[in-house]
Each structure stands twice: as structure tokens, then as C-alpha cells.
Amino acid sequence: MMKTSGAASGMQVAPHGGSVHKWHERLTPMSKPIDLFKEIWHQAKREGTLKHRNAVCVSTVDADGYPNARFVDLKEAEDTGFVFCTHLGSGKAHDIARNPKAAITLWWEHVARQIRIKGLCEPLLPQEADAHWASRLRDAQIATVTFSQSCALDSLESLEGTYARAVAGFGEADIPRPDDWGGFRLRPEYIEFLEFKENRLHRRTAHAMVDGQWHQRFLQP
């Protein structure tokens, strides 16, 4: 494992006052980046005032070879990968069907962390999709079954009316998961952590999966 020169400092304070532990000093060759991610994620959800603390940017590759990025809600982060859900007729789903290589990027300013993840996506099993559908707010379920994500909209005025009619039509009935709603698990092959420093001496660690094992190294700022 390589480490570039640079003096270590004591406990740092994030821009909005959240304490940032010096995780880079606790890394060992056996450290699992998923465990580190979950530690940072839990800290990000405990601290700060951001409303959507599960928001991450998922980047895919479109049919013309261009990067295609959008924010989604991160559902899970486990050894098996990172889970997000979507309409299976969406642009991201079509991109993944053509090319399963994708990336996740996030920036949690209140804990001064950037994380970059690259890997291959695979579809969730139906029972997994069912569980995530059941956890969605009812408003989100109704919107999902009422609209075709990313398709052209006749007018902004029609949006509220169409939704109101759908709410009335469903009443109190349960809303089953539609067949064209599911999700993906990104199995990571590369995870990079950056701890932001105001003096730009950022602490960066890269973890790459090689032959089924994680290998880590430090990176220059």
C-alpha cells in the first residue's frame, strides 16, 4: 500500500460543525470500503440539516456514448452493492440495459466528504423490488403508476389535474407494484473517498477490487 507524504492533523471539523473522524489513519490492508461508506453515510444522516441525505448522483452511458447523470435515492449499501430504484422504462434503465457500467457520486458537505463509486449494475429480484415499493410514500406510488417517467408532457397545467384524478381513482385501495418499476444493484469495483480540507490537502483513498479482493492506496490531493 502506497502513501504519499503529508503530515496528519488532529480531529477536523466539517464546514457546518459536524465532527469528522480521521478514518484514513485507521485503514488497514483488510479494511472494507463498504464498511467505511456505511460509517460515513450514518454520520451524514445523523448530522446537518439536509433534507435528502440519501441523494446520490448515478451516472450511466447513453446510446450515443455520452455520460448521463441524475440524482436518485440510495436505498441500501451492503457488501453486495449499492441499491437504487427506478421506472424500468426510464433513460437510466435503458442505459444500463445497453451498458451495465455505471458510477455513483456523492458530496456531503456537512461532513466534508466526497465518495466516487464505479461498478456493474444488475437488476433487483422481484421480491426485492416489492419490498422497496412497499416502503415508498403513497404519493410517490401514485405518481409512478400515473406518469411515464421522462416522456413528453402536454402542459404543466395538466400535471396537477392528472394527478388529482389518479388520487381520487385509487381512493384507499392498495397500489401494487407495476411490472415496469424495479431497481438495480451496483456491484462496486472501485470506491474512492475524499475528506475535504480547506487548505486543499485533501485525504484521498482509493479501493479497487482485484481478483475478488479489495486493494487500497492513498492518492495525492
Tens digits of residue pLDDT in 136-150:
999 999 999 999 888
DSSP 155: -
The reported pLDDT for the residue numbered 153 is 87
Provide the number of structural domains found in the chain: 1
141 marked among binding-site residues: no
Identify the CATH number of the domain in which residue 185 sits: 2.30.110.10
For the chain, what percent of residues have pLDDT higher than 70? 86
92 marked among binding-site residues: yes
What is the pLDDT confidence band of residue 13, given thresholds at 50, 70 and 90?
A: very low
pLDDT digits (tens, 9 = 90+) for 44-90: 888 878 788 899 999 999 999 999 999 999 999 999 999 999 999 99
204 marked among binding-site residues: yes
The answer to whether residue 4 is domain-embedded is: no
The answer to whether residue 96 is domain-embedded is: yes
74 marked among binding-site residues: yes
For the chain, what percent of residues have pLDDT higher than 90? 74
Average pLDDT over residues 91-116: 96
55-61 and 67-78 strand pairing: antiparallel
114 marked among binding-site residues: yes
CA distance between the termini of the chain: 17
Coil, strand, or helix at residue 209?
strand
The answer to whether residue 143 is domain-embedded is: no
Which residues constitute the domain of residue 100? 12-127+179-219
Extended strands (E) in 62-179? 67-78, 81-87, 101-108, 113-123
70 marked among binding-site residues: yes
79 marked among binding-site residues: no
Q: Is the pTM of this model over 0.85?
A: no
Average pLDDT over residues 187-207: 94
pLDDT digits (tens, 9 = 90+) for 105-117: 999 988 999 999 9
